[in-house]
Amino acid sequence: MELLLILVIGMLYAGGIYFILRRSMVKLLLGIMLLGSATNILIFVLGAIVKGKPPIIGSMQDVLDKASADPVPQALILTAIVISFALTAFAIVLLKRVYALLETDDLDDLNTPEEEDI
Amino acid sequence: MLLTVLAGFITSIFIIPFGKILKSKWSVLLMALPVVLFLYYTRLIPHISSGGNLLESTPWIPSLGVNLDFRLDGLSLLFALLITGIGIAIYFYARTYLKGHPYFDRFFGYLSLFMSAMLGMVLADNMLLLFIFWELTSISSFFLIGFNNTEPGSRKSAITALSVTGLGGFFLLAGLILLGNIAGTYSISELIHSRDVIIGHPLYPLVLGLLFMGAFTKSAQFPFHFWLPGAMKAPTPVSAYLHSATMVKAGIYLLARFSPVLGNTPEWSYPLMIVGGFTMLFAAYHSLLRTDLKSILAYSTISALGILTFLLGIGTREAVIAASVFILVHALYKAALFLITGIIDHETHTRDITQLSGLRKVLLPVALAGLLAALSSAGVPLSFGFIGKDLIYEATLHTPSSWIFILTTLALITNICLVAAGFMAGIKPFAGPLPEPFKKIHLPYTSMWLPPLILALGGILLGIMPDYAGSLFSLQAANAIFGADTQLHLKIWHGFNTVLVLSLVTLAAGTFIYMINKPGKERLNFVKKLNHLSPEYIMGKSVDAFFRFSEWYTGKFHNGYLRSYHLQIILFAEALLAYKLWLSGPIEIDFFSLAMLSVYEVAIVAILIGALIMMLTTRTRLTAVVSMSVIGYCICLMFVFYSAPDLAMTQFTIDTLTTVLFVLVLYKLPPFLNLGTKKERYRDIAVSLIFGIILCMVALQAHHEPIVTATSNFYGDAAYTEAKGKNVVNVILVDFRGIDTLFETVVLSIGAIGVYNLLRLRLKPSEKE
């Protein structure tokens, strides 16, 4: 199964990179989201993969069963998901503003005014 | 001593708030600076000339071995007196010269800064401190040369001077650090104890080379001489101060200062004699071709610096004596001649000697000063220049017999040219009939003609009382350069000997050349034809080439397109990761440790991949966004399978929110345009596939590494016993890493505020474009 997940990671990375090399702002944003998901899974795979044993201490126990899933990558990923949401939400709204102002989705159009100033 | 060095810095700082006041009559207050400093150092003459010296140390950066160590010995005193003494003349002169100039205050700010830097340099006893002041002189002279900042020529000269001297400074720093490492100390006065270690060290030639680079650039030795004539774009007081008496002598000072430590070896002598000898001859000849007064003086200054380098290269007792006297001789007459040129320029508005003549009738005191300075520069008996010239011949005659002829001839030709050049600058403008347009000229203020007259008179006075001058100024300076007692004793009359004959020949031949030399346009044109061979031309070309390279480089790598930056970063990351993977060898996979596959898992992965492909190939935004959310839900399901309920819940919520937000915002966007070319597209596909493959390999490699469970075990053990929580992931986030989570909340809030405001923002129509 890990091999399959690793394949997924590679594909997500490749897709993300392909998208951030495009000129469209929406694609750029989607690319960043893909890269984020890929990284999350990468972190997840680096811990041991365990089925059906969430890192929750049983009701009769004081310590976590050693066979449970690794809690540390999960804590990291949780943080990453939330933070990347903040980024995505802001970027989406920013995109809307840029589109409202310039009526374009082309990143290349964004740096033309600056060049005209020079 | 520290205070005297700081005085100029403090003054220039005070000019910032009080500049306006100083433009009025109060500018006389500024004159106090050089006067007080000069008096301070005059007071110290008896102590130093009897062989003593002064040490002062203030800790600055002790950990780096950089302390404000100042040491006053004969050599430092000679320079300090020159800097402050000629400084007085320059200050008074410039006050009148620049009267009413809009940047009057700024000028004195720069000048005070420069004077302090120069003083600090000659007093510093720490090599790094010396370097700092050295660079400060370069920087402050940059501002002074470029003082007329509205003229392109002036700015260009300033940049040339700064880049040449800055380049030298760079080498100097390397040389000084190397020297400090070899000797184990940065204190200049302690270096002398490790002379044998330094000279025997294999890096000794390198140290010398680096120091020479510093000295040659600063003191305008061939092939770095060209910045000095260019620097004549500066106001005349600056030329007089920096480019005759002080800054250009910094290189000479450096050589003189390190002469007892590093000198008297073949590696030291030959380069200095060759470079100095060539420079003095080359520049002396050039000075005869010029018609601009300042150019003549610039080239004769280069020539004089060449003589000094040459003498320090010879390094015998006689040569050192000659150098220590010639420094003083040259400073006196050259500063006077420059100031006279300034007056002529100021009054007649020309510096072309083919047009100037007869000015003695209208500018008598100036003419007198010119005559005296020219006599001293020519070395007419009873002038101080005579003694200087005698000593030079004395030095060349006291070399190994095979050298005597060559060196003496070199010195003779140089001196003959310099006599003629001195006459051209000091006498030619005043001799002959007075042309009509100059008849209305009247004498400028006393404060302009008195300084050069005093300097020129000083040159004669010291010549009449050489014994006095020698014991007060030159003896200890020569001792400091030589590193032993030189028993310097100056006399007017040496009796009839070879030296006297040489002196008379010089004088006669020089006068003869002055009579027949007719510099004019044709000669200058001839020089211009050879321009493409000159170091200045070559340097200009290489600078141009460098600019073109930077322009090409910037255009190539900083073209302003986001995707090209992405591409560069990714390619670099790929190269780096691939290299690292290649180093770490083959990847091993342990198939037995892998988790088993089940049907749902394969199905989910298949859906995910399908969604990904859909997303990458679709032409509508909505499909792409929906595919993205499908990918998100697939990941969410994976989290469910692999024991991460918290992650699954979060991912589910966030994914839903993102999709909703996306759809709300994007419903009115047009479909994707096909913007890139096919070639770009294939290139990008290749780049991204390679990145994906590399990341897969990295993941495989990392997965094969044994998992360190210490951290996880700690949290697993402590979650309930210490934090009283059963869900370990939650306990980590809100308890053990509570502060981190708090900041995460802050980040989210900032994001929320940003989103809210962007949505509410209503631009006026005028702000839209």
Which of A11, A45, A74 is nearest residue B729 as measured by Cβ atoms? A74
State the pLDDT confidence band at B108, using cuts at 50, 70 and 90.
confident
pLDDT of A114? 47
The answer to whether residue A61 sits within a structural domain is: no
CB spacing of B675 vs A6 below 8 angstroms: no
CB spacing of B645 vs A54 below 8 angstroms: yes
pLDDT of A12? 93
Say how far residue B758 (Cα) sits from the centre of its chain.
48
Mean pLDDT of B626-635: 92
Kindly report the number of other CB atoms within 10 A of residue B555's CB atom: 10
CB spacing of B695 vs A38 below 8 angstroms: yes
The answer to whether residue A108 sits within a structural domain is: yes
Q: B59 phi and psi, to 5 degrees?
A: -65, 140
Mean pLDDT of B474-478: 81
Mean pLDDT rounded to a whole number for chain B: 85
Q: Among B64-68, B367-371, B430-434, B646-650, name the most confident range.
A: B646-650
Which of A10, A44, A66 is nearest residue B696 as measured by Cβ atoms? A10
pLDDT in tens, B482-520: 877 777 777 777 777 788 888 888 888 888 888 887 766
pLDDT in tens, B148-178: 888 888 888 888 888 888 889 999 999 999 9
CB spacing of B647 vs A74 below 8 angstroms: yes
B568/B242: higher pLDDT: B568
Which of A55, A90, A101 is nearest residue B755 as measured by Cβ atoms? A90
DSSP single-letter state for residue B431: S
The answer to whether residue A100 sits within a structural domain is: yes
The answer to whether residue A105 sits within a structural domain is: yes
Inter-CA distances, B297 with B205, B236, B293, B403, B767, Å: 34, 11, 6, 30, 61
pLDDT of B763? 65
* Percent of chain B scoring above 90 in pLDDT: 15
pLDDT of B532? 66
Q: Would you say B297 and B238 are in contact if contact means Cβ atoms under 8 Å apart?
A: no
Closest CA to B46 of B460, B455, B476, B462: B476
Range of the domain at A11: 2-51+67-113
Identify the residue whose tokens are 């760079």.
Answer: B170
Q: Would you say B379 and B388 are in contact if contact means Cβ atoms under 8 Å apart?
A: yes
pLDDT in tens, B12-43: 888 878 777 777 777 777 888 888 889 988 88
CB spacing of A1 vs B751 below 8 angstroms: no
State the pLDDT confidence band at B691, using cuts at 50, 70 and 90.
very high
Which residues in chain A are contacts of B717 at CB distance < 8 A?
A: 63-64
pLDDT of B239? 86
How close is the nearest chain B Cα to the Cα of A32, in Å? 11
Which of B644, B716, B755 is nearest residue A74 as measured by Cβ atoms? B644
- Predicted ipTM > 0.85: yes
State the pLDDT confidence band at A115, using cuts at 50, 70 and 90.
very low
Q: Reduced to 3 states, what is the DSSP secondary structure of residue B70?
A: strand
The residue among A3, A27, A103, A106 with the most chain B CBs within 10 A of its CB, best to mutate, is A3
* Percent of chain B scoring above 70 in pLDDT: 95
Read off the pTM.
0.72
The answer to whether residue A118 sits within a structural domain is: no
pLDDT of A113? 47
State the pLDDT confidence band at A52, using cuts at 50, 70 and 90.
confident
CATH number for the domain spanning A26: value is 1.10.287.3510
Q: How many domains does chain A have?
A: 1
Q: Would you say B116 and B6 are in contact if contact means Cβ atoms under 8 Å apart?
A: yes
Whether pLDDT at A108 is above 80: no
Which residues in chain B are contacts of A60 at CB distance < 8 A?
A: none
Which of B625, B628, B715 is nearest residue A72 as measured by Cβ atoms? B715
Whether pLDDT at B673 is above 60: yes
Residues 6+ positions from B639 with CB-CB distance below 8 Å: A44, B645, B647, B648, B651
The residue among B660, B665, B677 with the most chain A CBs within 10 A of its CB, best to mutate, is B665
Which residues in chain B are contacts of A88 at CB distance < 8 A?
A: 658, 661
Which residues in chain B are contacts of A62 at CB distance < 8 A?
A: 720-721
CB spacing of B703 vs A44 below 8 angstroms: no
Which residues in chain B are contacts of A23 at CB distance < 8 A?
A: 563, 675-676
Q: Reduced to 3 states, what is the DSSP secondary structure of residue B697?
A: helix
Kindly report the number of other CB atoms within 10 A of residue B284's CB atom: 25
Which residues in chain A are contacts of B733 at CB distance < 8 A?
A: 75, 78-79
pLDDT of B643? 86
A59: its two tokens: 């009701």
pLDDT in tens, B308-359: 999 998 888 888 888 888 888 888 888 888 888 888 888 888 888 778 877 7
pLDDT of A65? 82
pLDDT of A10? 93
Residues 6+ positions from B209 with CB-CB distance below 8 Å: B175
State the pLDDT confidence band at B95, using cuts at 50, 70 and 90.
confident
Which residues in chain B are contacts of A80 at CB distance < 8 A?
A: none
Determine the Cα–Cα distance for residues A106 and B673; give it in Å rounded to an integer.
9
How close is the nearest chain B Cα to the Cα of A8, in Å? 7
Q: Could you give the angle at which helices B152-183 and B204-218 cross, rounded to 10 degrees? A: 160
Which residues in chain B are contacts of A46 at CB distance < 8 A?
A: 699, 702-703, 707
Which residues in chain A are contacts of B612 at CB distance < 8 A?
A: 11-12, 15, 34
Determine the Cα–Cα distance for residues B375 and B385; give it in Å rounded to an integer.
8
| Residue type at position B96 | T
Please provide the DSSP assignment of B211-240 as one string. HHHHHHHHTT-TTSTTHHHHGGGS-HHHHH
State the pLDDT confidence band at B656, using cuts at 50, 70 and 90.
very high
Closest CA to B379 of B282, B466, B280, B289: B466
Q: Reduced to 3 states, what is the DSSP secondary structure of residue B534?
A: coil
The answer to whether residue A104 sits within a structural domain is: yes
CB spacing of A11 vs B692 below 8 angstroms: yes
How close is the nearest chain A Cα to the Cα of B744, in Å? 7
CB spacing of B644 vs A79 below 8 angstroms: no
The answer to whether residue A99 sits within a structural domain is: yes
Determine the Cα–Cα distance for residues B246 and B253; give it in Å rounded to an integer.
10
Which of B597, B605, B662 is nearest residue A92 as measured by Cβ atoms? B662
pLDDT of A39? 93
Whether pLDDT at B146 is above 90: no
pLDDT in tens, B556-593: 888 778 888 889 999 999 999 999 888 887 777 777 66
Q: B462 phi and psi, to 5 degrees?
A: -65, -30
CB-based burial, B475-491: b 16+ in 10 Å, e otherwise:
bbbbbbbbeeebebebe
* Residue contacts between A and B (CB atoms, under 8 Å): 279
The residue among A5, A9, A11 with the most chain B CBs within 10 A of its CB, best to mutate, is A11
pLDDT of B558? 81
How close is the nearest chain B Cα to the Cα of A87, in Å? 7
How close is the nearest chain B Cα to the Cα of A35, in Å? 11
CB spacing of A82 vs B744 below 8 angstroms: yes
Which residues in chain A are contacts of B688 at CB distance < 8 A?
A: 13-18, 21
pLDDT of B765? 59
| Residue type at position B89 | A
Whether pLDDT at B147 is above 90: no
How much is the CA Rg of chain B, to the nearest whole Å?
A: 38
Burial class (CB in 10 A: 0-12, 13-18, 19+), B34: buried
Determine the Cα–Cα distance for residues B719 and B37; give it in Å rounded to an integer.
75
pLDDT of A11? 93
CB spacing of A86 vs B748 below 8 angstroms: yes
Inter-CA distances, B713 with A48, A54, A66, B523, Å: 13, 14, 8, 91
pLDDT of B406? 85
Whether pLDDT at B687 is above 70: yes
How close is the nearest chain B Cα to the Cα of A67, in Å? 11
Which residues in chain A are contacts of B601 at CB distance < 8 A?
A: 1, 4
How close is the nearest chain A Cα to the Cα of B609, in Å? 7
Which residues in chain B are contacts of A95 at CB distance < 8 A?
A: 665-666
Please provide the DSSP assignment of chain A as one string. -HHHHHHHHHHHHHHHHHHHTSSBHHHHHHHHHHHHHHHHHHHHHHSPP-SS--SB--TT-SS--TTSPPHHHHHHHHHHHHHHHHHHHHHHHHHHHHHHHH---BHHHHTHHHHHH-
CB spacing of B747 vs A86 below 8 angstroms: yes
pLDDT of B768? 53
pLDDT of A118? 40
pLDDT of B769? 47
pLDDT of B531? 67
The answer to whether residue A57 sits within a structural domain is: no
How close is the nearest chain A Cα to the Cα of B629, in Å? 10
